[in-house]
Structure formats: structure tokens, C-alpha cells
Structure 1
Amino acid sequence: MSDEPTVLIVDDEHAITDLHARWLEDSYEVRKAYNGTEALETIDEDVDIVLLDRRMPDRSGQEVLDEIREQAFDCRVAMVTAVEPDFDILELGFDAYICKPVSDPEQLREIVASLETRSTYDSQVQELLALSSKKAALEERKESDELSKNEDYTELETRLASLRNELSSTAMELDDDDLRAEFHGRNDSGSKLMKSAEGGDASESRD
């Protein structure tokens, strides 16, 4: 049995699934699924990371994600999707939201390495990073006045502030290099993700 982490790639576009698999297969044990039903048949307790398309014809990525969380699989999940993030992502239990296309092998490897690193953190730090990912994804595409008027986004900010207070001692151990390893180069909102996790106001840098 391989000691490499296991990555499940789920996308109904076969060419994308196969390409991403080729990019990762030298460093990871890779499984592929071409629809949501196949994903749920393929996942088990050995899967460490799931790269999940959001819009699929049989079962949506959201339905697959809900089932993964309901079955309590201990894996990190990134939505890798062409669907632009909206406030509905605040209800989804993913760890990261990555907008397609993923442009090159190194970018995908960085995404997976980031998720692999997150698995070493405790649940509160994982929640902090997941919420920071949602916050940054929204701030990348929403105006500040729209964000401020949304109750769910305000609750997200409140929860993040609470987590930072609860994790003040742990956060001291998450130094700049840790955060940079988490977020650098993953997508256009990488710098915002790092600012958000550190407690900065990512919206200040938004055009």
C-alpha cells in the first residue's frame, strides 16, 4: 500500500480530470471520478484530499460535499470550479474554493500541498483557514458595500474574530511562513487569503 497521500479528483469533464491526475500522479496516489455518483462510490477513509467540481449533471458538487461531511470522512475538500463564488458558498463545508481554470501543474500541486498541510492542524485552525478562504473568495468579487449589507457575511466576520481570539496562542505558532505556504500562488486571491487568515482587512486592497 502506498504511503503517499490519496487525492480524489472529481470532474465530469474527462479531459480536465485526466489532466489533473497526470499532474499529480508522481507525488500522490490518485483516484478519478467523472461524476458525483462515481465520486461517492470511490471515496473511502483512505482519501486525504478531494478536488471537487461544483456543477455536474447527475449529482452536484454540493450534494457530494454534503454526503462526504455527513459520512464524516476525514479529508480536505477544495471546490475547483468555474462557478463564480456568491454568498451561498457560506453554507458549504469546503476547505478551499478555487476558480477554474487551474493554469499549470505547479499551481495544482500548490493547492494540494496546502490542503495536505491543513490536515496537520487541529479542527479550530482548519475552520479558521476554511472561513478565511470563503471570506477572500467573496472579497475578490464583491464590492465592500454589498458585503457589509449581507448578514451571513457579517456573521462570518464575527466567527473569524472569535476564532482568532480563541486561537491566539496557536496563531502565534502559525508564523508568516506557515500562512504563506498555505496561500501563496493558489489563485488570484492568494494574498487576500493570507491577509484574512492573519486578521488583516483584505477588502482594503480590493479595486
Structure 2
Amino acid sequence: VLPGEARLSALDVTDEGAVEGWIAEAAATAPLAGLVTAAGIAADVPVLETSAEEFRRILEVNVTGTFLCARAAARRMRAAGGGSIVTIASVSGMRGSKGRAAYGCSKAAVINLTQVLAVDLAADGIRANAVCPGPVETPLVARVHTEETRAHWLAHVPQRRYAQPEEIAGAVLFLLDPRQSGHVTGAVLPVDGGFSGAGLTAIGR
């Protein structure tokens, strides 16, 4: 999709020193123009069965990890004259979903963090926006979504299908590109087939 080469590396996004070093290494090869924070973990556990340890672990990865990566990247972007940060949140951060006390809370925090980044960094020429996927056809989702879970999702998604990964990537690329979205910052963009905007999706006749 993008020109040039890609390099892969493993990173613990909750390790502040590792994050700073990773961003510095990336910025050493070329000015840092964009960042996508997609690292995250999840669990579908009823609230009364969610342990404090699991709650903290999910928030540490999803929220603190996003904060550390965004802060480190923004410092480099400010020095370079600007850039774009795109966080991957979720429709679970916009609405309450069964069994998602920790995950939903973490993604709601990512949405608000993104809006704070947009306000704090606007004067530095840095934009920050959140993409909120609904259900997406990925190998991970295929393993964890039972037929019953899929049926529940599809009953509430007006388009009656899961998103393809390329559709999430398209939204991210739009928000990264200043030619297309240069005046867009602080936005929360659902890519969910209409789930977040839906009320009744069918009526009896």
C-alpha cells in the first residue's frame, strides 16, 4: 500500500524505556510522520468475575501502552514540524457491551486520550484521531467468536457482515494522509457497518 520497505520488531508497549528506544530507532531512519497504535489485548469476562489483576493488565497494555507510544512519537513529530497519530480504539469504548468491563473501559480511555492529544498537540502541527472498529474478519476473531456470538453481532450491524481488515486499514490511511484529512483532528471514526449509529435494525410487518 505504501512505498518503501517495512521492518518488523517486537515491543512491550508497557515498557517506557523500550518504547522510547523503539521510536528513536524508527526516527533515525527518516522523519517520523505518522504513528498507528494498534497493540491491545482483550477478555470477555462478566464484570463480577473480572479480577483486579486482569483489569489492570488490560488497561496497562491498551491505555498506558497507547500513551507511551503516542508521547514518544509526538516528541519526535514536534521536532520534525508535525505528524499524525491514529489510535485503534473500538466500538466497545463507545457503548457498553456484555462481558467487556476491562476492555470497554480501556478503549473508552483511548478515545478520550486521543482527543486530549488532539488538543494538546494541535499547535505543534500534530493531528490525533481514533478509529473504532466493530467486528473484523481476522484469524483471532475467527477463533474466539462462536457462531452464537457472530449471530448476535450480525443482528445489530446494519450491513450484516464483519469488516475486512483492509477496510480498517483504509480508514487509518485516510487519517494518516494530511492531503486527505489535514483538517481532521480529535475525530472518533467508527468502522463498524453502522453498529454504533443503529437503533432498531428491523421491524415486523
Q: TM-score range by the shorter chain?
A: 0.3 to 0.5
User: Which of these two proteins has the greater Rg computed from alpha carbons?
Assistant: 2
Q: TM-score, normalised by structure 1?
A: 0.37
Report which structure shows greater RCO (CA 8 Å, sep ≥6). Answer: 2
